[in-house]
Structure 1
Amino acid sequence: MTVAKALGHIRVLDLSRVLAGPWCSQNLADLGADVIKIERPGSGDDTRAWGPPYARDADGRDTSEAAYYLAANRGKRSVTVDIASAEGQQLIRELAAQSDVVLENYKVGQLKRYGLDYESLKAVKPDLVYCSITGFGQDGPYAHRAGYDFLIQGMGGLMSVTGERDDLPGGGPQKAGVALVDLMTGMYSTIAIQAALMHRDRSGEGQYIDMALLDVQVAMLANMGSNYLNSGKAPKRWGNAHPNIVPYQTFACSDGYIIVAAGNDGQYQKFVEAGGRADLATHERYASNPLRVQNRDELVPILAEMVKGKTRSEWIEQLEAVGVPCGPINDIGDVYQNPQVQARGLVTETPHPSAGKVKLVRSPMRLSGTPTDGGSAPPLLGQHTEEVLRELLGRSPEDIGALKGKGVL
């Protein structure tokens, strides 16, 4: 029995590369969309070369597929097209006419030179949904600047609230450990595209979506942005602590670190009672969260000394038993050994044309009626060029051979 896919009726022409755009189109592919990934002949997506590490074949030898590329491109079909050539541009226009969505992350105005901007493609597909992802958006004084995740984390305020406190050893700004702005821009773009498709289905109208990394970074400051807007005071770095909740941070046990996230007074009381310091639960300076925030500099060292008296496993067992949120700080290897991660089946092995099999992380989206699956492996460069041109554009083997001979494919 074939299981319906939520976006099984949608085709996406993906002109994006690196991470923000591919992350978006991978989400759409996970939901069942036919994603056609357009790549540069000969080299393809930049991330194909962002290794080591690479996928390995059955003999343990590196293939040409970088692990970075594998992380963001499952479930797609790869077609190589030189969009700088007139014949390549015509192929893109023809493919756009057969698609519901075009996704791109070129510099502002670059695709207009090729006749592949929204207005040009709208002429051949009036109800097209066209999503552009750039660093700073299509207008404003920074529109023509190149935008990279690291830069945006700094410019957009994330690094001002990430890292240890300036008055503590190691204090200073720190970027997130993954390209968080790229990933969140991909997620916001996924939502925007689906909203535009719903509007199209009701009205018959396509539309243009202007996504900017800086916009996303500012939006995702969340409570930190709200704290500033409502106080006029810029938040500072708190390391592994929380600006509004105490205790909500890491603590050193006798044999490692744990996180304690006491989100209310009841959880705080159970935490200190488990540590043999019930007196701290009713202390006049620590009994409520506002008091604990006000007096954190004197309370936290007391709590830190209390935590040192037990092992990590002892603390986790005791705190879980009384309902205090806590947990270990795992490295990535620990994550994939975690019984909950394993029970949820987050790692899949997918057949791959050169590596035999590759391990991928499955989509976290769980839909009961239209489930995602592991999808096909991230494609080899140009793996589906002939298939797509035959299937969608009716090109003959001779036509395709001629285009390859000219370097168009």
Structure 2
Amino acid sequence: MTAGTRPATSAPLAGLLVVDLSTTLPGAQATQFLADAGADVVLVEPPGGSPLRADPGWPGLLRGKRSITLDIGLGSEDRPVLDGLLLQADVLVTTMRPAAAERHGFTAQRLAEAFPRLVAAKITGWGSHGPWADYKGYESLVMAKTGVMHSKRQLSPGPDPAYVSTPYACYAAAQTAVQGILAALFERESSGLGQVVESDLVSSVGALDPYNWFYEMILHRYPDAFTPQIAAFDAQGRPQTRLMYALLVAATKDGTWLQFAHTAPRLMQAWLEELGLADELKDPKWTDFPDLPTPELRFEWWTRMLAEVGARTLPEWEATFARNSNVFGEQFRTPDQALDHPQILHEGRAVTVDDPDLGPVRQPSTLVHAAGRPLTEIRRAPRPGEHSEELRRLAALAAPELETPSTQGTAAGTGGLPLAGVTILELGGMFAAPYGATLLTDLGARVIKVEPLEGDTIRSVMAFPEAGGAKVLQGKESIALDLRTPEGLAVVLDLARRSDLVLQCYRAGVTERLGIDEASLKAVNPDLVYLNSPGYGIDGPYGHKPAYAPSIGAASGIALTDAATAGASPANQEELLRGARERWAGGAVPAVQADGIAALSVGSALLLGLYARRRGIALTGMVTTMLGSCTQALIGRNTSYADRPPLTRVDDGFQGTGPLHRLYRASDGWVFLAASAERDWSALATALSSHSDLGNERFSTADARDANGDALTDVLSRIFATRTKDAWEADLTARDVGCVAVCQENAEWRMQSDEFHRAGYAVDAVSPIFDEHRRLAPLSRFSRSAVKADAGCTLGQHTDALLRELGRSAESIADLRSRDVVR
């Protein structure tokens, strides 16, 4: 145990001391995860309190932490107190820009010399190196420059980029930081040494897309391969994608909006039969369904489906879902309403904490559940400096000899992969859980993917063969077998004997039927870490339901967070069509959606279980869900209490949340301005002084700027229209004002462009299918440990090698293949 911390419990991170210097959302969410897992998180706040307390969700973000007020500047009277805490700490988390971190003495060299066992996690907007390292790290700037605002453009009526409200990049960077921290702590058990771990918002948001990276790559490499889907709807609002029918957004007769999800062929057939439209497809007019050749035909079929859904009330559809297990639709909920979802209530994933000042505070429980309950009991957030006295006493206990560097293990801990020697057995398909294991291959884990003989469904989700699964299969070994046969099951059991972790993401009851549930696999390997990561849960009212990104986006509040202006019940056909388009854009755009959020969460959960086992703490019945993960991502919006301040809301044009945080049209495109803080305003007013007098009394104070918001928007609109977007970015960022040129191409292509490749966000890989190509760079960077960036694999590419490793002879393998047990 760390001196002065609370007594150890069965919580996986009990006894670890975390010093949290973060002042922005990704740091707060990373340390919230650590506190939820039992770590003693010390929130270091400046005099006056952390800026995070201005976030309406601060009671959820800061929960379970202790607070101390310190001036952390080098040479300050409080700096010895901070150093005393760091001498005893296991983890440090910062969200400073690189220059600020260096100014405060948080360089890798100084940290290694002064605190050799400390794992220091740095979360930045753009990384510590490269052309944009010194840019402001605001999420909106990242979303603008990476193309996410362009990808989400159909949130607004026209073709222009749209402001994105869900904190996708912040949550992704938080989970990336957690993974880096846990991997470094795991490696420290061998080397005895800590290190610096870095994550950034740019790379992290690139992880959220499930397959469009390779869609864009194929489209640009082979432009004649297939007709591109430029957007979900054309300029007249007519569907342009076949997915519009499988993932239909529609309103019931009594005005409740539903998100349907029927992507598998059998589910689509059941869906059409339920709507009474299956026989219609016999008409030659619909021969090419679902790839209908003209906008008119696509629109006609779409409105037919909308009409059939609108013929039944919500209770009638709920009765349909209960009767027909192959048909299902999710209600669109706000973030607050999501905590009343029947599955959330069943699993206890919504908790209420009594706060002496705020009263009852409702919020999500822990991301990971174990043994049928949250990892820990959620405790209230501290008041600023509430624990200063006791923490100053703790800091005084520190002595330099506690952290004397050990030469033993230094060589072994330098340059190696932090998860070298770890084997993960992956059972399940698609993206939301499996990509969590993919992320760990970059850190050195061996991931053995068990696929059905016909391959994971994601391999064929796109028109170009194998492109759909290329991202999620990176770094993995594929074995294709029939799990339903005794011989296939025997192979999986043999693999489980040699594995450290098992990841499964089937719907409730499937693993038990197949004989690959936790009890069955732990019977052959009691030391296994077994993680369940289904869409909804391993039991309960929705455990058997199919879960796809759009339906989870609807259920969790993500869709209505992004499509914040979407109306309620449609009063006419025009409102019906507009509402369907807006909600689609809110939850179904591939660049950022629920699949990616869930996958990042799975990566963190796997590492939590692995590190807990290393510490001698066995977690049983570990569960993350897509739905639970998405409520975590929205904790800043679904933490509710009496007199909660208003949440920020995008304007009706989807351009931003105010005159100093919005899109502006430049002479050749768009810029995004992020200058809401008082210090930002001063720099902006000075930079634009030659264009307009922004120092007049209408704009002289924050209150005045709020009162004259429309006038300020008009003034800034005229100014930004006078120059090119790149000129504005160069000029204003040189003056430390947050302003970037808005990329107007899809994020998945932008991220693999030459500019982003040179900046280190994309790296080269060689695929057995696509030859040399660019892939997303590993999300974490370490000061000592290495990472790698492998490409994907073909179906069954490693079947023979793995069977030989298990001791099967050539004759035995040939026999299994002849009987269609393996491929």
Structure 1 and Structure 2 fold alike (TM over 0.5): yes
Q: Which residues in structure 2 correspond to 1:39-54 (within 5 Å)? A: 39-41=451-453, 43-52=454-463, 54=464
Moved more, 178-187 or 208-217: 178-187
Q: Distance in 2 between matches of 1:292 and 1:223?
A: 25
Show the counterpart of 1:259.
672
Report the 3-state secondary structure (helix = DSSP H, G, I; strand = E; otherwise coil) of the residue aligned with 1:309: coil
Structure 2 length normalisation: TM-score? 0.45
Evaluate the alpha carbon distance shift between residue 264 and residue 233 of structure 1 in structure 2; reply closer, same or farther with a 3 A threshold.
closer
User: Which amino acid in the other structure matches residue 359 of structure 1?
Assistant: R
The count of corresponding residues between Structure 1 and Structure 2 is 391
Instruction: Please state if 1:314 is matched with 2:727.
Output: yes
Q: Distance in 1 between matches of 2:531 and 2:716?
A: 50
Q: Which residues in structure 2 correspond to 1:50-61 (within 5 Å)? A: 50-52=461-463, 54=464
Displacement of 1:153 in angstroms is 1.1
For the Cα contact (< 8 Å) 2:478–2:793, is it kept in 1?
yes
Report the 3-state secondary structure (helix = DSSP H, G, I; strand = E; otherwise coil) of the residue aligned with 2:478: strand
Give 5+ residue unaligned stretches, structure 1. Answer: 55-63
Evaluate the alpha carbon distance shift between residue 323 and residue 49 of structure 1 in structure 2; reply closer, same or farther with a 3 A threshold.
same
Q: Distance in 2 between matches of 1:388 and 1:288?
A: 67
Q: Which residues in structure 2 correspond to 1:238-253 (within 5 Å)? A: 238=651, 240-243=654-657, 246-253=659-666
Q: Distance in 2 between matches of 1:71 and 1:309?
A: 41
Q: Distance in 2 between matches of 1:228 and 1:310?
A: 45
User: Which amino acid in the other structure matches residue 45 of structure 1?
Assistant: D
Show the counterpart of 2:625.
212
Displacement of 1:141 in angstroms is 2.6
Displacement of 1:329 in angstroms is 1.7
Report the 3-state secondary structure (helix = DSSP H, G, I; strand = E; otherwise coil) of the residue aligned with 1:320: helix
Q: Distance in 2 between matches of 1:139 and 1:302?
A: 56
For the Cα contact (< 8 Å) 1:160–1:236, is it kept in 2?
no
Show the counterpart of 1:339.
755
Q: Distance in 1 between matches of 2:590 and 2:703?
A: 31
Evaluate the alpha carbon distance shift between residue 101 and residue 404 of structure 1 in structure 2; reply closer, same or farther with a 3 A threshold.
same
For the Cα contact (< 8 Å) 1:248–1:259, is it kept in 2?
yes
Q: Distance in 1 between matches of 2:469 and 2:511?
A: 24
For the Cα contact (< 8 Å) 2:752–2:776, is it kept in 1?
no
Instruction: Please state if 1:98 is matched with 2:529.
Output: no
Displacement of 1:340 in angstroms is 5.2
Show the counterpart of 2:815.
402
Instruction: Please state if 1:349 is matched with 2:765.
Output: yes
Show the counterpart of 1:283.
697
Instruction: Please state if 1:386 is matched with 2:787.
Output: no
Instruction: Please state if 1:363 is matched with 2:778.
Output: yes
Among all aligned residue pairs of Structure 1 and Structure 2, give the percentage whose two residues are the same amino acid: 28
Evaluate the alpha carbon distance shift between residue 293 and residue 89 of structure 1 in structure 2; reply closer, same or farther with a 3 A threshold.
farther
Instruction: Please state if 1:126 is matched with 2:541.
Output: no
Show the counterpart of 1:58.
none
User: Which amino acid in the other structure matches residue 369 of structure 1?
Assistant: R
Q: Distance in 2 between matches of 1:270 and 1:240?
A: 26
Structure 1 length normalisation: TM-score? 0.86
Q: Distance in 1 between matches of 2:565 and 2:709?
A: 13
Give 5+ residue unaligned stretches, structure 2. Answer: 1-411, 568-574
Displacement of 1:358 in angstroms is 3.6
Show the counterpart of 1:329.
742
Q: Distance in 1 between matches of 2:640 and 2:691?
A: 33
Evaluate the alpha carbon distance shift between residue 272 and residue 230 of structure 1 in structure 2; reply closer, same or farther with a 3 A threshold.
same
Show the counterpart of 2:542.
142
Instruction: Please state if 1:15 is matched with 2:415.
Output: no
Displacement of 1:210 in angstroms is 0.8
Evaluate the alpha carbon distance shift between residue 131 and residue 293 of structure 1 in structure 2; reply closer, same or farther with a 3 A threshold.
farther
Show the counterpart of 2:684.
271
Displacement of 1:303 in angstroms is 2.1
Q: Distance in 2 between matches of 1:116 and 1:182?
A: 24
Q: Deviations over 1:119-164 (max 9, x none)?
A: 1111111121111111212244322221111111112111212147
Moved more, 2-11 or 105-114: 2-11
Out of 62, 65, 69, the position equivalent to 2:466 is 65
Evaluate the alpha carbon distance shift between residue 206 and residue 126 of structure 1 in structure 2; reply closer, same or farther with a 3 A threshold.
farther
Q: Distance in 2 between matches of 1:40 and 1:289?
A: 60
Report the 3-state secondary structure (helix = DSSP H, G, I; strand = E; otherwise coil) of the residue aligned with 1:77: strand
Displacement of 1:283 in angstroms is 2.8
Displacement of 1:202 in angstroms is 1.6
Q: Distance in 2 between matches of 1:237 and 1:31?
A: 38
Evaluate the alpha carbon distance shift between residue 16 and residue 3 of structure 1 in structure 2; reply closer, same or farther with a 3 A threshold.
farther
Moved more, 183-192 or 196-205: 196-205
